[in-house]
């Protein structure tokens, strides 16, 4: 039995597909939604889910929540403040500090997975050892790998990682198998926002584009509501237990205001030792939440642009994630895509349902559906002159594989450094390095070595880079498990920078390419002139000299087009010279 798991920032769910439909499994207290919270008591086993969530108030420093935000992240990247302590070496993986104990985010996530696994085993009456787990579309390699590792720690083999919006579309799309539909999935959860544009044709889902922010969600709205309540009270709540109580009251009020126009927030025994009652209206909440929700608009527009799809071409708008229960979110999403959202599924459950359906596909219980995902950023390697050579372009459908042949820049070179890069910039130095390794090869004259480089992304989004010297068959295979852990702000920045610097970047690329050509041509023209200048007319010789001078002059500058033109002119001017040199070389040695 393969289970489907939505390992959410705020809540997690587990489901199975059996006898033709998905069942989401409830725990012993009949709840299907398990809060993604783990409490570590001073002694004894950790508490997971609802009992742990209750401990957030009593023991905030030993109660870990939203740990998904730290999966595969490095120290220095975490921006959110937490009542529990984070630790780790600067630049090293983020750890959670509970007393003297240091835990990886995977270990904390594994506790949640272990609980879900146990719930499923009890409900199903059999062992559960394999799972499909969902992640936000924007999770990078390190975050996906960390998710797999969390599964392993919990005794689950994660046989497939699926992007959350894709899973949701699967949950919604199954009943329209024969149609050709374009779908937008707007997923605003507790800690992450994802938007995807998908196309469904005859049972094949294809993700046309994805966009999002792994640090945007209901948690941000909660923090703003807490600040608002503090302002209303007229003081800042410092005591961690009181803060946790305040947060809980804020979240509950926010939820109530999805159905009511007004609610009273009761804040018992804050620092002043007195209780407060504060009235919060939906209008006030919407004013607080709007800046956060408004942030999703740019992501949606970018996803549409990347997919090359007009909002009017979207036939279905699916809302996923608990925060889409807010009327303001529904209104705004509807406005962006110009259509009424489809809310026919439970927004909390669609992703888990999709994961269970994907599990069923893998088990062969459902055969009509195929899932295709895409890469969020381009992947490639650095080549001569510090340029980015893209091997797998952004938005490639995964699983995918592509390769290219490279050669040596220097004669007698014995190895090549493969720098694996991710990003949209033309110059290698502006992209992120995911890793590097050397591939040795046989020393040969310049341009004669043949090194094949292949990039493969498996169905889990994990990148394997293979480099092979084709003459010896010697190869190096590296799996990119330590991708540069970058926040989504950085992903957005990369796309923005690439757009903003497109002109300068292209100039730099054209200049570098022309420079390399010029540096190769100048010495060989010199050599050819030494051999055959006397066979040219005076006019041809001075034409060549003038072109050489032009190239040297352009090399001293930075402008790409003049250099490119000068190189092309030199190439043309030396056509006759090249033919002469060729002829000389072919001539049999003259008889004495
Ligand atoms: P998820 O990550 O999809 O489980 O979504 C959790 C987020 O949804 C949290 O920020 C919750 O506060 C929020 N949420 C859940 N129910 C509601 C509701 N009725 N109204 C507003 N937000 C909600």
Per-residue pLDDT band at 444 (split at 50, 70, 90): confident
Q: At what angle are helices 282-307 and 218-233 packed, to 10 degrees? A: 150
Per-residue pLDDT band at 221 (split at 50, 70, 90): very high
Per-residue pLDDT band at 78 (split at 50, 70, 90): low
Residue 373: pLDDT over 70: no
Per-residue pLDDT band at 592 (split at 50, 70, 90): very low
Q: What is the pLDDT of residue 264?
A: 95
Q: Which of 27, 119, 164, 426 is catalytic?
A: 164
In tens, the pLDDT along 483-531 reads 434 455 666 787 888 888 888 888 888 898 899 889 888 998 998 888 8
Q: What is the pLDDT of residue 485?
A: 41
Whether 6 is catalytic is: yes
Give the mean pLDDT of 442-460: 85
Give the mean pLDDT of 367-380: 71
Q: Whose CA is nearest to atom 14 of ligand 1?
A: 322
Give the mean pLDDT of 48-65: 91
Structure tokens at 217: 């969600």
Residue 280: pLDDT over 90: yes
Give the mean pLDDT of 391-413: 82
Tell me, in angstroms, the distance from the centre of ligand 1 to residue 240's CA. 23
Choose one of 32, 33, 322 to mutate for the ligand 1 pocket test, by most ligand atoms within 8 angstroms of C-beta: 322
Tell me, in angstroms, the distance from the centre of ligand 1 to residue 11's CA. 9
Indicate whether residue 46 lines ligand 1 (CB < 6 A): no
Indicate whether residue 321 lines ligand 1 (CB < 6 A): yes
The atom of ligand 1 lying closest to the CA of 188 is: 3
Q: What is the pLDDT of residue 578?
A: 85
Q: What is the pLDDT of residue 244?
A: 79
Using alpha carbons, select from 191, 39, 63, 57 the residue that is nearest to residue 115. Answer: 39
Q: What is the pLDDT of residue 486?
A: 45
Residue 178: pLDDT over 60: no
Indicate whether residue 346 lines ligand 1 (CB < 6 A): no
Whether 164 is catalytic is: yes
Indicate whether residue 10 lines ligand 1 (CB < 6 A): yes
Indicate whether residue 8 lines ligand 1 (CB < 6 A): yes
Give the mean pLDDT of 284-305: 96
Q: Whose CA is nearest to atom 8 of ligand 1?
A: 322
Q: Which of 111, 187, 353, 456 is catalytic?
A: 187
Is residue 469 within 8 Å of 406, Cβ to Cβ? Answer: no
Give exposure, 552-566, as e/b (b: 16+ Cβ within 10 Å): eebbeeeebebbbeb
Distance, in Å, from the CA atom of 235 to the CA atom of 241, rounded to the nearest integer, reads 16
Q: What is the pLDDT of residue 338?
A: 94
Tell me, in angstroms, the distance from the centre of ligand 1 to residue 185's CA. 16
User: Which residues, 6+ apart, have CB-to-CB distance to 142 below 8 Å?
Assistant: 72, 73, 481, 482, 483, 484, 485
Q: Which of 68, 115, 254, 564 is catalytic?
A: 68
In tens, the pLDDT along 123-167 reads 999 999 999 999 987 787 788 989 999 999 999 999 999 888 889
Q: Whose CA is nearest to atom 9 of ligand 1?
A: 190
Give exposure, 224-257, as e/b (b: 16+ Cβ within 10 Å): bbbebbbeebeeebeeebbbbbbbbbbbebbebb
Name the range with the highest mean pLDDT among 21-25, 107-111, 121-125: 107-111
Tell me, in angstroms, the distance from the centre of ligand 1 to residue 382's CA. 43
Indicate whether residue 190 lines ligand 1 (CB < 6 A): yes
Distance, in Å, from the CA atom of 204 to the CA atom of 372, rounded to the nearest integer, reads 8
Residue bearing tokens 């699983």: 399
Indicate whether residue 136 lines ligand 1 (CB < 6 A): no
Indicate whether residue 251 lines ligand 1 (CB < 6 A): yes
Tell me, in angstroms, the distance from the centre of ligand 1 to residue 162's CA. 21
Residue 205: pLDDT over 80: no
Per-residue pLDDT band at 176 (split at 50, 70, 90): low
Q: What is the pLDDT of residue 327?
A: 97
How far does the chain reach from its first CA to its final CA, in angstroms? 88
pTM above the 0.85 mark? no
Is residue 320 within 8 Å of 165, Cβ to Cβ? Answer: yes
Beta strands in 251-409 (DSSP E): 262-267, 276-281, 316-320, 370-374, 379-383, 387-392, 397-398, 400-406
Using alpha carbons, select from 127, 120, 117, 17 the residue that is nearest to residue 356. Answer: 17
Question: In whole angstroms, how large is the CA radius of gyration of the chain?
Answer: 30
Per-residue pLDDT band at 413 (split at 50, 70, 90): confident
Is residue 198 within 8 Å of 207, Cβ to Cβ? Answer: yes
Q: Whose CA is nearest to atom 1 of ligand 1?
A: 189
Tell me, in angstroms, the distance from the centre of ligand 1 to residue 195's CA. 17
Choose one of 215, 255, 285, 354 to mutate for the ligand 1 pocket test, by most ligand atoms within 8 angstroms of C-beta: 255
Using alpha carbons, select from 186, 217, 254, 251 the residue that is nearest to residue 69. Answer: 217
Q: What is the pLDDT of residue 484?
A: 35
Q: What is the pLDDT of residue 591?
A: 44
In tens, the pLDDT along 542-588 reads 999 999 999 999 998 888 889 999 999 999 988 888 888 888 877 76
Residue 279: pLDDT over 70: yes
Indicate whether residue 218 lines ligand 1 (CB < 6 A): yes
Q: What is the pLDDT of residue 7?
A: 96
Tell me, in angstroms, the distance from the centre of ligand 1 to residue 322's CA. 3
Tell me, in angstroms, the distance from the centre of ligand 1 to residue 250's CA. 12
Q: What is the pLDDT of residue 361?
A: 85
Residue 104: pLDDT over 60: yes
Tell me, in angstroms, the distance from the centre of ligand 1 to residue 288's CA. 16
Residue 278: pLDDT over 50: yes
Whether 254 is catalytic is: no
Give the mean pLDDT of 82-95: 88
Lowest mean per-residue pLDDT among 150-164, 235-249, 414-428:
235-249
Whether the ω angle into residue 399 lies within 30 degrees of 0, i.e. cis, is yes
């Amino acid at each position: 039995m393969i289970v489907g798991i939505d390992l959410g920032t705020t809540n997690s769910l587990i489901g199975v597909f059996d006898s033709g439909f998905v069942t989401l499994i409830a725990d012993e207290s009949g709840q299907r939604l398990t809060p993604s919270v783990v409490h570590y008591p001073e002694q004894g086993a950790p508490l997971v889910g609802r009992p742990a969530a209750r401990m957030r108030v009593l023991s905030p420093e030993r109660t870990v929540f939203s740990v998904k935000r730290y999966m595969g992240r490095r120290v220095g990247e975490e921006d959110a403040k937490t009542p529990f302590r984070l630790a780790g070496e600067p630049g090293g993986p983020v750890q959670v500090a509970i007393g003297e104990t240091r835990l990886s985010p995977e270990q904390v996530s594994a506790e949640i997975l272990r609980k879900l696994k146990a719930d499923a085993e009890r409900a199903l009456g059999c062992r559960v050892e394999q799972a499909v787990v969902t992640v936000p579309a924007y999770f990078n390699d390190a975050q996906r790998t960390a998710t797999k590792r969390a599964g392993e720690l919990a005794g689950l083999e994660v046989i497939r990682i699926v992007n959350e919006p894709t899973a949701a579309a699967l949950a919604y799309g199954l009943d329209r198998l024969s149609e050709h539909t374009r779908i937008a999935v707007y997923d605003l959860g507790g800690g992450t926002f994802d938007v995807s544009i998908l196309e469904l044709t005859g049972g094949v889902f294809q993700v046309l584009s994805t966009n999002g922010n792994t640090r945007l969600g209901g948690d941000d709205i909660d923090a703003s509501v807490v600040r608002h309540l503090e302002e209303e009270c007229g003081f800042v709540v410092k005591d961690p237990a009181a803060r946790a109580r305040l947060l809980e009251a804020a979240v509950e009020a926010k939820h109530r205001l999805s159905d009511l126009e007004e609610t009273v927030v009761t804040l018992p025994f804050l620092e002043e030792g007195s209780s407060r009652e504060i009235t919060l209206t939906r209008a006030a909440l919407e004013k607080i939440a709007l800046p956060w929700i408004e942030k999703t608009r740019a992501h949606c527009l970018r996803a549409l642009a990347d997919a090359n799809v007009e909002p009017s071409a979207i036939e279905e708008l699916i809302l996923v994630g608990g925060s889409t229960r807010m009327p303001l979110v529904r209104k705004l999403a509807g406005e962006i895509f110009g259509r009424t959202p489809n809310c026919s599924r439970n927004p909390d459950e669609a992703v888990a349902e999709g994961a269970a359906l994907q599990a069923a596909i893998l088990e062969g219980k459902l055969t009509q559906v195929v899932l295709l995902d895409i890469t969020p950023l381009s992947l490639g390697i650095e080549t001569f002159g510090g340029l980015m050579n893209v091997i797998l372009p952004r938005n490639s459908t995964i699983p995918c594989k592509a390769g290219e042949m490279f050669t040596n820049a220097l004669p007698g070179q014995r190895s090549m450094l493969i720098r694996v890069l991710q990003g949209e910039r033309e110059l290698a130095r502006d992209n992120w390095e995911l890793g590097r390794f050397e591939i040795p090869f046989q020393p040969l004259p310049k341009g004669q070595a043949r090194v094949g480089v292949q990039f493969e992304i498996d169905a889990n989004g994990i990148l394997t880079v293979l480099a092979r010297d084709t003459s010896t068959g010697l190869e190096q295979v590296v799996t990119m498990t330590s991708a540069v852990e970058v926040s989504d702000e950085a992903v957005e920045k990369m796309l923005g920078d690439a757009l903003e610097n497109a002109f300068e970047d292209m100039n730099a690329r054209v200049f570098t390419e022309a420079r390399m050509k010029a540096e190769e041509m100048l010495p060989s023209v010199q050599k050819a002139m030494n051999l055959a200048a006397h066979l040219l007319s005076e006019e041809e010789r001075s034409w060549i000299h003038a072109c050489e001078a032009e190239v040297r002059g352009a090399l001293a500058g930075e402008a790409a087009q003049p250099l490119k033109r000068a190189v092309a002119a030199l190439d043309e001017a030396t056509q006759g010279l090249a033919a002469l040199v060729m002829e000389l070389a072919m001539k049999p040695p003259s008889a004495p």
